[in-house]
Amino acid sequence: MKKFFTTFFIILVCFSCKKNDTVSSDKNGATESSKEFDMYEMSEMALLMEQMYKDNEHLKERIKKGDTIGKFPNHFLKIHAAVMTDEQENDAFFKVQASNFIKAQELIYEDPKNAKEHFNSGIDACVQCHEVKCGGPIPRIKKLYIK
C-alpha cells in the first residue's frame, strides 16, 4: 500500500513538472488531497531550476555574442541540497547527475575558449537528469542548446 502511494505521488510530481498539464482530477481520499495541496507551492528545487533556466538563457546570449561570461553562479551549488517536492527523488542517480551538471557548468568559466561546448554539455546534463526525473520541461530545456 505504501508503495502504491509512493508511485502515485511520483506520478503527481511529474505532472507538477509539466507546465501545460492540467492537474489530474481523480483525487481519492484526504491523504492524496493534502499532498496535492503542496503541489501548488513551488519547492525550493523547482524555484532553483527556474532560476537556472533564466541564468542559462542569459549565459547563452553572452556566449553567442562573445561577451565576457563572468563568474560561476554559486547559487547553482544549491542543487545538491535544495528541498524538492519529493525528497525521494534525491537519490544516487540525482546526486551523480547533479555533480556532472555542476562540473560541466564550472568548465565554462575555467575554459571560456570552449564555452559553447561546455555550455552544451551542461544542457546535456539537464536533459539526462530530466529524462529520468521529470520529463515535462525537456522540450523547454532543449531550446537552451547553442547551435
Among 58, 147, 72, 79, smallest CA distance to 106 is for 72
93-112 residues near ligand HEC, rule: CB under 6 A:
94, 97-98, 101
Among 34, 35, 12, 7, smallest CA distance to 23 is for 12
12-51 residues near ligand HEC, rule: CB under 6 A:
13, 16-17, 42-43, 45-46, 49-50
> From the CB of 104, what's the least distance to ligand HEC, in Å?
9
Q: Which stretch binds ligand HEC (CB under 6 A): 2-10, 23-31, 52-60, 112-120?
A: 52-60
Sign for the pseudo-dihedral over CA of 49, 51, 57, 59: negative
Measured from the CB atom, the residue of 52 and 63 that comes closer to ligand HEC is 52
> From the CB of 22, what's the least distance to ligand HEC, in Å?
15
- Long-range pairs for 100-107 at CB < 8 Å and ≥24 separation? 100/125, 100/128, 101/125, 101/126, 101/129, 102/76, 102/77, 105/72, 105/76, 106/72
> From the CB of 76, what's the least distance to ligand HEC, in Å?
8
Sign for the pseudo-dihedral over CA of 84, 89, 92, 94: negative
Q: Which residue is listed with cell 496535492?
A: 36
> From the CB of 37, what's the least distance to ligand HEC, in Å?
14
Query: Binding to ligand HEC by residue 52, rule CB under 6 A?
Result: yes
Which residues are near ligand HEC by CB under 6 A? 13, 16-17, 42-43, 45-46, 49-50, 52-53, 56, 84-85, 89, 94, 97-98, 101, 125-126, 129-130, 133-134, 137, 140-141
